Amino acid sequence: MEYGVLSYLEHLLDGLDRASWEPVLAHSPFRLAAQARRLVERLRARGVHVIELPFRRGAGPGDARAALRLRAELRALRPAVMHLHSTKAGLAGRLVARAAGVPVVYTPHGTSWHYTGALVGRCQRALERALRRRTDLLLAVCPEEADAFVREIRFPPDRVRVVRNGVRVPDRGALAAMRHAARTRLGLPDGSTWLLFVGRLTREKGLDVLLAALRQRIGADGLFVVGDGAERPRLEAAARACAIPVRFAGYRDDVSPFLAAGDVLVQPSRSEGLPFSVLEAMGHGLPIVASRVGGVAAAVGTGGRTVPGGDVAALAACLRDLLDDPAARAAHAEAARARAEAEFGLGRMLGAIQETYADAAGTRARGAAARPARAA
């Protein structure tokens, strides 16, 4: 549990209607951010059943033990529905859930076969196609993700639901004070213009594309990089060739101070679903410059500008144009904030997910007097 999937689970497990659904969390103890450990502790303190399964990201000797443990838990719990997140859990969990007779909701959180390479990508597509019949409902985070599964995996459209990610939007009146405090704490001079990148430091997220674009002067005074990952040493080396300072802030549980201090969020990903970082930045009133991948362009709308993924020249030109035009930045910022408020509220996301659970379980959510159904 890290980054976008962690944010999704935090919102869901903290906001689930406990009168209708009793959550159970099954997770791997590996790749567990400190923020995820605190979520697990918080859930246990509330009496939520938490299960550790020794899955790793790739195939490994722990997979068989984890699958057997999961099968035993499902047979004991008999949950009304099982919600699986990301490719590895989606592959292993659907096999186990079908054997246990548990309805499955699957959220892939992206189309990973687009960036894992030709051979691995073909294997992933084949496995996704093989497991279509073991998936009661595919719950996509944006229409573009849903469309990719229908077109490329041939997933039946009548078993697809789209529930776009949602975020808490800060109070408009508090934004100016948040910005002043954050910029003071970070030591940013008045009038300086800083770009912001938030995400895992992996090839998928495209920070290398942004750093290549910043080898030339584009009008920014600096870049904050918030996040960590295996590519960090290589990216830090590449940053030394940039024409502006690049500050690597590492992984942060709370990115809101950087969102408050920044002037433009740049999301140069090669592949995405609907990233929380973009929605959170929009809620903070930041204009967005992003790759035209997944559901990003549709979400951003007039709240920013998009370019082809992986195109260094297009990204540099877009940033230069936007940074040269303060009026356009202000207009995009206002539009971004308005879209976040109107279309990406957290309450809408939570309500729609729980409706999907009810559809998968074959029943409507029950009232407060009824015994809650288990959602694993």
Does pLDDT of 57 surpass 80? no
pLDDT-derived band at 23 (thresholds 50, 70, 90) equals very high
Give the CA dihedral 279, 325, 172, 263, nearest 10 degrees: 60
Quick one: pLDDT at residue 104? 95
Structure tokens at 90: 């989606």
Quick one: pLDDT at residue 91? 87
Does pLDDT of 31 surpass 80? no
Phi-psi region of 371 (alpha: psi -120 to 50; beta: other; left: phi over 0): beta
Task: Give me the residue spans of the domains in the chain.
Answer: 3-166+346-375, 172-343
Range of weakest confidence among 53-67, 128-142, 270-284, 310-324: 53-67
Quick one: pLDDT at residue 1? 75
Does pLDDT of 253 surpass 60? yes
* Domain 172-343 grouped into CATH 3.40.50.2000: yes
Structure tokens at 6: 């962690």
Strand order in 264-267's β-sheet? 246-250, 222-226, 194-198, 264-267, 288-291, 304-307
Does pLDDT of 369 surpass 50? no
Better-scored residue on pLDDT, 112 or 20: 20
Does pLDDT of 94 surpass 50? yes
- 136 near 360, Cβ under 8 Å? yes
Quick one: pLDDT at residue 58? 75
Q: DSSP letter for 272, please.
A: -
Tens of pLDDT along 141-188? 999 999 999 999 999 999 999 999 999 999 988 999 999 999 999 999
Can you tell me the distance from the alpha carbon of 45 to that of 351, in angstroms, rounded to the nearest whole number?
24
Quick one: pLDDT at residue 327? 97
Structure tokens at 57: 């990201």
Structure tokens at 87: 């490719």
Quick one: pLDDT at residue 81? 95
First-to-final CA distance of the chain: 15
Better-scored residue on pLDDT, 152 or 63: 152
Percentage of residues of the chain with pLDDT beyond 70: 97
Which pairs count as long-range contacts for 1-5, CB under 8 Å and 24+ apart, including other chains? 1/27, 1/31, 1/32, 1/33, 1/36, 1/39, 2/31, 2/32, 2/33, 2/36, 2/200, 3/33, 3/199, 3/200, 3/227, 4/109, 4/273, 4/275, 4/276, 4/277, 5/85, 5/86, 5/109
Average pLDDT value for residue range 252-271:
94
In CATH terms, are 3-166+346-375 and 172-343 the same topology? Answer: yes
pLDDT-derived band at 374 (thresholds 50, 70, 90) equals low
Tens of pLDDT along 322-364? 999 999 999 999 999 999 999 999 999 999 999 999 999 985 3
What is the DSSP annotation of 340-364? HHHH-BHHHHHHHHHHHHHHHHTSP
Looking at the whole model, is its pTM more than 0.85? no
Average pLDDT value for residue range 121-131:
91
Does pLDDT of 367 surpass 50? no
Better-scored residue on pLDDT, 166 or 98: 166
What architecture is the 3-166+346-375 domain classified under in CATH?
A: 3-Layer(aba) Sandwich (3.40)
Quick one: pLDDT at residue 56? 82
Phi, psi of 247 (to 5 degrees): -105, 120
Mean pLDDT of the chain: 91
Which 3 state secondary structure label does DSSP give 120?
Answer: helix
Average pLDDT value for residue range 14-28:
93
Quick one: pLDDT at residue 364? 35
Quick one: pLDDT at residue 371? 53
Strand order in 49-52's β-sheet? 49-52, 21-27, 373-375
Structure tokens at 134: 């073991």
- 288 near 295, Cβ under 8 Å? no
Structure tokens at 309: 């993924």
226, 223, 277, 221: which is closest to 249 by C-alpha? 226
Quick one: pLDDT at residue 294? 87
